[in-house]
Amino acid sequence: MKLLSPVKIGKHLLKNGMAMAPMTRSRASFSGVVGESTVTYYTQRSSAGLIISEAINISQQATGSPMTPGMYTQEQIDAWKKVTKAVHDEGGVIYAQLWHTGRVGHSLVKNGEQPVAPSAIAIQGQQHFTMEGMKDYETPRELSTEEVKEIVQEYKQAALNAMEVGFDGVELHAAFGYLPNQFLADSANQRTDEYGGSDENRNRFVVEIMHEIVEAIGEDKAAIRLSPTSTYNSITHIDPIAQFTKLIGELNHMPLAYIHLMKVPFPADKFPQYPDDVLETLGRLCVHPVMANCGFTRETGEAELIKGLVKMISFGTLFLANPDLPKRFELDAELNEADRATMYSGQDKGYIDYPFLNN
C-alpha cells in the first residue's frame, strides 16, 4: 500500500506517505502557550509520516482567534520544545506551520487593535468567533509598504524560532484566506505599490517570505501550503491558473521540502476560470514533492498516490479522531468519528481521549 510506504521529503525518509494536516484546535492559553495536553495530542499521532502542527502565530499582531498558540515569546518557545521532544522520542517528524491571520480576526481578540490586511477590504458573509460570541468582520487597516517588509522579517524570525524549538522544518500557511493568501488574491489586494497590481506583485509577499525562510533555516526544510480554488474568507482570483503558474515557477527555484496543495471544491458555475483539478493543472508544474489535501479517504488517497504525481496525502479530521490512523489504514479497521462539537472546545475531551485500536 503506497500510503504506508516510506517516502523521502526534504532530508527525511518518512515511515509512510501519510501526513497529519495542520488543524487549529484552540487549546493554547490566552497568552498563546501550549500545555501538557498538546504534548500528549501530538505524541499520540507520531505514527504519521509527517506531522504538520496547527497554525502558529508569528507575532501578537498575527493572532486572529482566541486560544491559538504563538512562537514569538520565550514562554511559548519553551512550551513547544516539550512537543517536539516528545514527538522525536516516538520516532516522529514534525513541521511547524507559520501563521499570520491578517484580516481574519477581530479587535476583541487583538487587545482592541484593528486587524491588518493588504487593503482595507472586509470579509463579507461570514462572522468571526470571539470570547464574546460571533461577530461580523471589521474593515482591516491597510498595511504600509514598510510594515509589509517588517512582517516578512517576522516570518523569518518565526522560522528561526521553530528551529530553536526543535521542529524539523516549517510550512508557510499561504492558504485558506489568511494574510499571504490575502496578498495573492485580487479580491483582497487592491494595492498600488510593489505588492499589488500584477500577478508578480501580488505573489511578491509570499516569494519574499519563502526566500527569507530558506536563507534562515537552510535547504529542504521549508514548505508552503496553497489553496488556489478556495473561496473561504472572501478570497477570489480573476485568473488563478496564470497567477499560481507564475508563483510555482518562483518556488521551483528554491530548495523546498514540498508544496502542499489543497484540492478545495468550488462552485464551478460561479468560477469557470478555476482549474477543475488543482493537482493535475498546478501540481504537475511543481519540481518539489507535492502533498495533497482536502477530504481524502484511505481509498482516494491511495488512488492519488498510485497516479504518481503526488508523494504524500495529508489527512485532517481523520487524524483528529484516529490517533493511530496509519495502523487503522493498514488493517482497514473501523474509524472513529470526529466529534465536531469539541473541535475547538479548549478541553481534553475531543482532543486526547479518542480511543486507539484495542483500547
pLDDT, tens digit, for every residue of 182-202?
A: 999 999 999 999 999 999 999
Specify the residue for cell string 492558504.
175
Averaged pLDDT for residues 28-50 = 97
Give the model's pLDDT for residue 359.
57
Residues 6 or more apart whose Cβ sits within 8 Å of residue 193: 145
Question: What's the rounded Cα separation, in Å, for the pair 22 and 287?
Answer: 23
Cβ atoms 33, 75 nearer than 8 A: yes
State the catalytic residues. Answer: 178
| Mean pLDDT value across residues 287-300 | 97
Three-class DSSP category at 291? strand
Question: Of 172, 177, 100, which is closest to residue 143 (Cα–Cα)?
Answer: 100
The pLDDT score that the predictor gives to residue 150 is 98
pLDDT of residue 195: 98
Question: H or E stretch including 147?
Answer: helix 145-165
Q: Does pTM surpass 0.85?
A: yes
Q: What is the pLDDT of residue 349?
A: 96
Residue 329: pLDDT over 60: yes
The pLDDT of residue 229: 96
Roughly how many angstroms between the first and final C-alpha of the chain, as a whole number?
A: 25
Residue 103: DSSP 8-state = T
Average pLDDT over residues 3-26: 97
Residue spans per domain, the chain: 2-342
Domain 2-342, architecture per CATH: Alpha-Beta Barrel (3.20)
